[in-house]
């Protein structure tokens, strides 16, 4: 796409400054480690058929998603980088910078080349803490980056009147991840309310999007009907109708205030408010009851106040500034493009905090909203606009760095655990069972469920960690691409024609499995994790003696 109005020197300088600043803030993610869904992706890659036909079949198995371009893309990355984390993080960082560049050109298009407003919009998006997971969780979130890149290209093509290209780019975006499905509604509305075209042309554009949206719906319905499994569920199978309605109505509202103010900061405020109220109402501080009150009562109240303030500033100043319409454009973008996240299955209901990676795309709309509000509130008083912008930047950069540092601390522990196990057991027995003990629970599990400090099943993580060298067979994954150690607390043992693999935290289940399958003592590898010192103790001999 050729830019009709070349960038001025000051615009080039502004863009370069933003990119450098974003790079500096995000570069510590190179010290991180794999977080969550990546581990299952590794398992599926190392034990599965990687032919194009098999990949397309894999796309059709997932009834909740149809993302064939992502299925191909992440496999190519694993083929290139294996289990080497740093290249994935580097790719994620580069993709974020590409998105920032496209945000710059899109904002420039909206604001008619007003350099300051373009700068603010781009900088806020580049450094927003709300959607950090799209970049700090590499590999699996290449789908989010890719989908947003094609969605913004689609939006730019639409603003230039290239309708066929718009539709093509939109479908490319959807085949990476469905985050821009709202464009079938957003773009016609944008055209209807803000275009100077005659009514006939507006209706023709709407018809094109209607037909395209119907075609996409047919594709999704076809993929849904072709295959179903108990692993990949539809939202109606995991949420009640009432909770689904609550999420659909609440998500646009939450998406706005959770992208204006970093979610961690919002939770801090909500907990502080809860501490001022009677314990009879909130529950004792530090208890689950108090946390639930903070998330389900205090947080929405804070969010309501934030959204109300935004609306009041808009209503008071909308006639003073021509840029006020971009507050509506940004609001429309956030609202329409946030409904899709309410349809995500297997989430807590109602959802108190939207997943960070799902806030990445709506943050573009919020950036337009905030820039428009600053322009309206401080009408052409650039010093005050920059002052307001600086406050927003400082808050977001602080919490963004906090999020990255927190992830890196967790990454250090996880890398050390896996590295120690691999160093002490470089080659596994043909039939192997891992057994672990831990002195605490994690990720909201009850105290009776102590696990290792990993957000996914540790047996799955160990399987993926050894998969490149052990050459495990396809038999560990079923016909629906479900690994037998899928849930966080799942335990078990499975044998295939090439060997066996198992993972246990319960000693009684371990002993029963060893006796049932006649496993040798040497097949059992045991470790104990001490959370206070973050040390891992090899207890293999101790466990074998107890058996």
Cis, peptide link before residue 536, omega less than 30° from 0: no
For 196-247, write each residue's pLDDT tens digit: 778 888 899 999 999 999 999 988 887 767 655 555 555 555 556 676 777 7
User: Has residue 421 been placed in a domain?
Assistant: no
- Quick one: DSSP state of residue 360? T
Q: Say yes or no: 183 and 85 in one domain.
A: yes
Residue 197 is predicted with a pLDDT of: 76
User: Has residue 478 been placed in a domain?
Assistant: yes
Residue 2 is predicted with a pLDDT of: 38
Q: Say yes or no: 184 and 322 in one domain.
A: yes
Residue 391 is predicted with a pLDDT of: 87
Per DSSP, the residues of 232-282 read S--HHHHS-HHHHHHHHHHHHHHHHHHHHS-HHHHHHHHHHHHHHS-HHHH
Per DSSP, the residues of 97-159 read HHHHHHHHHHHHHHTTT-HHHHHHHHHHHHH-STTTHHHHSTTTTHHHHHHHHHHHHHHHHHH
User: Has residue 109 been placed in a domain?
Assistant: yes
User: Has residue 321 been placed in a domain?
Assistant: yes
Q: Say yes or no: 385 and 465 in one domain.
A: no
Q: Say yes or no: 104 and 164 in one domain.
A: yes
Q: Say yes or no: 479 and 379 in one domain.
A: no
Residue 317 is predicted with a pLDDT of: 83
Q: Among 374, 408, 442, where does a domain finish? A: 408
Q: CB atoms < 10 A from the CB of 397, how many? A: 18
Give this prediction's pTM: 0.90
Residue 232 is predicted with a pLDDT of: 52
Q: Say yes or no: 398 and 480 in one domain.
A: no
User: Has residue 116 been placed in a domain?
Assistant: yes
Residue 238 is predicted with a pLDDT of: 53
> What is the Cα Rg of the chain in Å?
25
Q: Among 364, 380, 408, where does a domain finish? A: 408
User: Has residue 459 been placed in a domain?
Assistant: yes
φ, ψ dihedrals at 34, nearest 5°: -65, 145
Q: How far apart are the C-alpha atoms of 475 and 221, rounded to whole Å?
A: 30
Is beta strand 524-530 parallel, antiparallel or unpaired with respect to 492-496? unpaired
Q: Say yes or no: 140 and 244 in one domain.
A: yes
Q: Say yes or no: 169 and 307 in one domain.
A: yes
Q: Say yes or no: 150 and 25 in one domain.
A: yes
User: Has residue 308 been placed in a domain?
Assistant: yes
Which residues form the domain of 330? 9-228+236-408
For the chain (547 residues), the mean pLDDT of every run of 10, in chain order, is 66 93 96 89 80 66 74 89 95 97 95 85 95 91 94 96 95 94 94 81 91 91 64 54 73 90 91 85 79 86 92 84 83 90 60 85 95 80 77 92 95 95 94 93 82 92 92 72 82 88 93 91 93 93 90
Q: Say yes or no: 452 and 495 in one domain.
A: yes
Residue 1 is predicted with a pLDDT of: 36
Structurally, the chain folds into a number of domains equal to: 2
Q: The tokens of 160 are what?
A: 């230039």
Q: Say yes or no: 461 and 378 in one domain.
A: no
Q: Say yes or no: 386 and 468 in one domain.
A: no
For 257-297, write each residue's pLDDT tens digit: 999 999 999 999 988 888 888 887 878 887 778 888 888 88
User: Has residue 327 been placed in a domain?
Assistant: yes
> Of 494, 521, 492, nearest to 504 (Cα)?
492
């Amino acid at each position: 796409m050729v830019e009709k109005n070349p960038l001025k020197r000051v615009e080039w300088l502004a863009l370069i400054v933003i990119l450098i600043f974003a790079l500096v803030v995000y570069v510590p993610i190179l010290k991180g480690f794999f977080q969550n869904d990546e581990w299952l992706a590794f398992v599926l890659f190392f034990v599965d058929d990687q032919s194009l036909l098999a990949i397309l079949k894999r796309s059709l198995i997932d009834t909740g998603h149809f993302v064939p371009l992502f299925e191909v893309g992440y496999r190519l990355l694993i083929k290139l980088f294996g289990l080497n984390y740093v290249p994935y993080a580097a790719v994620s960082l580069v993709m974020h910078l590409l998105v920032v560049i496209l945000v710059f050109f899109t904002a420039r298009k909206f604001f008619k080349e007003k350099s300051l407003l373009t700068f603010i919009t781009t900088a806020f998006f580049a450094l927003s803490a709300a959607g950090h997971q799209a970049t700090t969780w590499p590999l699996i979130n290449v789908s989010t980056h890719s989908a947003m890149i094609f969605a913004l290209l689609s939006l730019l093509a639409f603003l230039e009147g290239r309708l066929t290209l718009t539709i093509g780019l939109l479908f490319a975006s959807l085949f990476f991840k469905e985050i821009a499905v709202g464009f079938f509604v957003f773009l016609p509305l944008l055209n209807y309310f803000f275009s100077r075209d005659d009514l006939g042309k507006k209706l023709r554009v709407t018809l094109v999007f209607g037909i395209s949206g119907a075609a996409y719906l047919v594709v999704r319905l076809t993929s849904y009907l072709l295959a179903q499994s108990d692993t990949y569920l539809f939202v109606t199978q995991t949420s009640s109708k009432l909770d689904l309605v609550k999420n659909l109505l609440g998500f646009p509202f939450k998406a706005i205030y959770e992208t204006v103010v970093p979610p961690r900061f919002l939770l801090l405020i909500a907990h502080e408010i809860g501490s001022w109220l009677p314990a009879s109402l909130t529950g004792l501080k530090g208890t689950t009851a108090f946390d639930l009150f903070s998330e389900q009562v205090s947080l929405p109240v804070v969010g309501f106040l934030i959204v109300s303030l935004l609306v009041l500033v808009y209503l008071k100043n909308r006639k003073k500034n021509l840029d006020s319409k971009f507050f509506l454009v940004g609001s429309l973008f956030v609202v329409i493009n946030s409904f899709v996240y309410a349809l995500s299955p297997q989430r807590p209901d109602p959802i108190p905090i939207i997943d960070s990676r799902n806030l990445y795309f709506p943050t573009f709309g919020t950036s337009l909203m905030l820039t428009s509000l600053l322009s309206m509130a401080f009408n052409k008083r650039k010093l005050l606009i920059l002052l307001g912008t600086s406050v927003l930047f400082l808050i977001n950069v602080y919490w963004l760095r906090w999020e990255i540092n927190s992830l890196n601390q967790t990454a250090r522990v996880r890398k050390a655990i896996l590295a120690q196990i691999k160093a002490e057991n470089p080659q596994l027995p043909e039939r192997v069972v891992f057994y672990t003990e831990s002195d605490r629970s994690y990720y909201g599990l009850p105290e009776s469920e102590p696990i290792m400090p990993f957000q996914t099943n540790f047996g799955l993580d160990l399987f993926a960690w050894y998969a490149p060298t052990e050459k495990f067979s396809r038999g560990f994954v079923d016909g629906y691409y479900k690994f037998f150690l899928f849930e966080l607390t799942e335990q078990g043992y499975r044998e295939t024609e090439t060997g066996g693999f198992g993972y246990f935290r319960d000693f009684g289940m371990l002993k029963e499995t060893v006796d049932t399958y006649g496993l040798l003592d040497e097949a059992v590898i045991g470790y104990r994790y001490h959370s206070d010192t973050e040390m891992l103790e090899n207890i293999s001999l101790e466990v074998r003696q107890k058996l």
